[in-house]
Structure 1
Amino acid sequence: MTGPDSHRLVRSPGVGSVVIGPAADGSRRPDLVVAADDAIDWTVFDGLTVPAGYPWPRIIVYEGDDTGFFDWARRRPIGTFEWRPSSAHVVDATGANINRLWIGLRTAPLHLTVPSMPHGVLTVNGDLSLLTAVLADGGACPAVDFQPDTLPAADAVPLRLPDLPAFAGAQHVTVTVRPLRQAFDCASLLQFPDTRHLSLGGQLVNVAALAQLRHLRGLQLRFCPDLTGLPALDSWPELTHLIAFNVEEATGKRLRGELRRPGREWERSGVSQLRRPEWFATEYGLPFSGWPAAKAKKATTAYRTAQRAIATATGPDGVEAAIRAFVAVVNAMPGIETTEREDAGDAVAQLAEDTPFGDLTEDAQDWFDDARDF
């Protein structure tokens, strides 16, 4: 892979993915360990297939700076490729056959000529300002999925998407942020006037601006604690599909009533799991929502125990003991992933930011790093 007999991979039945990248303390060890700057021979996977004959792996997760996989994908289709570059790149992905391309941007800019993805999705995660995108000659705009980083403070100036003129013709747009953090400004979606299908999740503001997306046919809203100002459904004459799930109660009831009005046909539509504002703060506000159910239950129980201990602590040492006890529970869980480690860190920060002894977030980070073995 990086040289003769450089790596050995044992495939497990039913596993269709492979993780490639540097080994890092506290993170799951990749299936194939490489340095970020290693040159990779992607053709080593050419002879591997699943029993049905489709190329294996279907999903590749790669952290590093070898962009040769785009050239490889011109000859060999890839189902999903997740890429986390660490250096700046100018990449022409024209002709790459990747159905779902996920790119995580943190520190370095990327200039990307987007491949034609007629039925695929381009996801950009992290600092979206680092992306400059152009479409390949003759290429149609893909479905786009934006997962921007947000600030912890819910009262921070709302986040807007950067100008992304390459995607002005996007017909499928998804934006997901976390509830109870920095809000997403829906007015920045007006740069996609041809949007037909829109999916939004998290803390939103300026939802009234969505009325200007006159061609909407599908709208999905998930985990939205505040939908104040959401236009009436008849603002979109072509709308035939609505999903609202885990949204604030008042607007959810209004939407439910609008769906029941006669005179309009709806396809696969519904409003469910309406929530009071306090639910988001006490339940969804915990950073374990994406964990497997068994892990999430244990982590939530440990978090609640730590909360009670901190509330009755007689000094900062009591706060420290409560946080270390929480981390010990997470330590005992098998196979903590990178994102779960980050979530556990967020949980510790939440526990420490409002204690009887003030904000102990900085101290708590040291306690967290010292106590964890994941």
Structure 2
Amino acid sequence: MTAQEARPAGQLGVVLRLGTAQTLAWASSYYLPALLAAPLAAELGMPVTQVFGAFTLALVISALIGPRAGRAIDRHGGRAVLRVTNGLFAIGLGALGLAQTEWQVWAAWAVIGLAMGSGLYDAAFAALVRLYPVSARNAITGITLIAGFASTVGWPLTQWGIGTLGWRGTCLGWATLHLVIGLPLHSLLPRGRVETAPPLQAAAPSDAGPSAPLSASHATAGNGVAVVLAAVFAIAWFTSTAMAAHLPLLLLQAQGLSASAALGVAMLVGPAQVAGRLLEFGFLRRAHPLLSSRFATAGHPIGVALLALGGPLGGWLFAVMHGMGNGILTIAKGTLPLVVFGAAGYGERQGWLMAPARVSQAFAPVLFGLAMAHWGGHALWLTAGLGLLALALLQGLALRMAHDRRAASVAVTTPPPDAPV
């Protein structure tokens, strides 16, 4: 068993605690406006678009705070930072539940944005990498498997809360859960590093080999690589958020499905995401994350082609391919930077890499909605083209890595010109 495959004592418990806390965080923030916006807007007499505008503000703030939160986790560990985010979530959700005016709604979402930027996946991944710099990849996958059900758990709970407690009581209920469940879970995390970070390897890993940090030359000359990864993640999260906001209507326009059939197809995306993460955990975990990332970025374009060619079955095939690709990319955004740059400074770097993705995520529903207004179901070809661009960027990165690996091999095996024969 390699160091990558070994599971440190107590890691399973950490994964379960963080996974549960992430489920709570996602359910009470990212997945909240879909059901809360309408009753909130109706009671306060504000347009629903203003509620989603406040949510967009939260996403932009999360992008701005991400690098600073990552740096804090690098220095102080995830336990300290994530406990603070439970307080921020509680304050923001509590303020939202008590809001009486439009500006108070915007202010509440601004606080929730601070919590999202320092308390969602990127922060949890950074916390894991600081605890387990050697074996973090499997732990990251475990968290995404658990929190992949955030919408499955969150939407029914929010709907039940609105029906029984009202939207204000629902917000206050989510705030309370952060204090009575989220805070204790984060308080039980280890205080210090569990594993010792390995030294950087002398050569890059093979494209399909096990994960390992790249050579120092890659890490120090990685500005171009960082730009490529940031662009790929921005494309992926633009597409993911656009589909989450518009997929049922998009399927209606593209295939002429009934409203119930379109919703049924759209609901398949969530299970497909979990299936993709299981695939990554079972069959792709020994592959280099760059390989699984290319597989994942191809999922959406292939799904669009199947939707166009597959007739009534095409919608189901599209949902499966898009969902599986999106599920694997959620893991890749945590593991690929770890492999490329190593564990040192992971949290802050992750914050910078994901900042463009969070901004693109914030504006994706509006921009893709405009595309749908102009092109209808053909707007899918826009996201398919973006997916192919991301695939080309990753393929270029793979070729560069292979070239550098061959060059390093030649440098090691070729004697200097003045060496004795």
Superposed pair shares fold, TM > 0.5: no
| Superposition TM-score, scaled by structure 1 size | 0.27
Flag the structure with higher helix content. 2
Flag the structure with higher strand content. 1
* Greater RCO, 1 or 2 (C-alpha within 8 Å, sep 6+): 2
| Superposition TM-score, scaled by structure 2 size | 0.24
